[in-house]
Amino acid sequence: MIALKNKKPNRSRRRQRRARPRLRFSPYAWAKLLCLRDAGPSEVGGFGISDANDPLLVIDIELVRQRCTAVTVEFDDESVADFFDQQVDEGRMPDQFGRIWIHTHPGCSAMPSGTDEETFDRAFCSPDWAVMFILAQHGATYGRLRYNVGPSTSVRLGLDIDYTLDFPATDPDAWLDEYENNVRIHDPFSSGRIFDYGADDSILDPMDIDAAAWHANEWVAS
């Protein structure tokens, strides 16, 4: 009798997992996300670009300028505004580029931190829907779809990599260039050198280093 009672909830949980909505990635977008995750020691974040006919199908990932640590990602507001303008100029609607927030965790856990939750609540409360997706270093993932209209609610998302889609060849050199042009890593043990921020010539916090030079500093060498 006990064995039979244990089987019914298991079947119910399997049905719930099958019914869970899925966030899908094209192979190109997934390969790019893996490349960005492994490019440096910190978190890194960006916006998922959705297919015009399927808002939960991510076909690309775009970075903006950001300041990162091992546990946080802070986007540059001006860079976000420029990114939105560029996407509109390319003919995309806001629900194709401004709804899916993607970032990585350098550790093994993909569960959102308190800072992640605060950022999601603050920065993605205006759209009618938004997604937070996290990929951890060792492959764990977390996805959540939130509806901000009507009786707001959240739904956990499953993950699919859709290999039935046509996709272009991978381009890791271009992806790493994008990473190095946008990502600055906050290093609490920096020796005090100052690096330019991509095309911006402004003087920044000496504890910030550009992504291309992170491997040569005391933080990594120690």
List the domains of the chain with CATH numbers: 20-221 (3.40.140.10)
The reported pLDDT for the residue numbered 214 is 47
The reported pLDDT for the residue numbered 150 is 83
Q: Each residue of 161-187: pLDDT tens digit?
A: 999 998 899 999 999 999 999 999 986
Work out the number of other CB atoms within 10 angstroms of the CB of residue 139.
10
The reported pLDDT for the residue numbered 166 is 87
158-161: strand order across its sheet: 153-156, 141-147, 129-136, 100-105, 45-51, 54-63, 22-25, 158-161
The reported pLDDT for the residue numbered 140 is 97
- The CA distance from 160 to 38, in Å, is 20
Q: What residues in the chain have per-residue pLDDT under 50?
A: 1-2, 4-5, 192-204, 206, 214-222
Do the strands 54-63 and 66-68 form a parallel or antiparallel pair, or are they unpaired?
Answer: unpaired
The reported pLDDT for the residue numbered 215 is 47
Residue type, 222: S
The reported pLDDT for the residue numbered 211 is 61
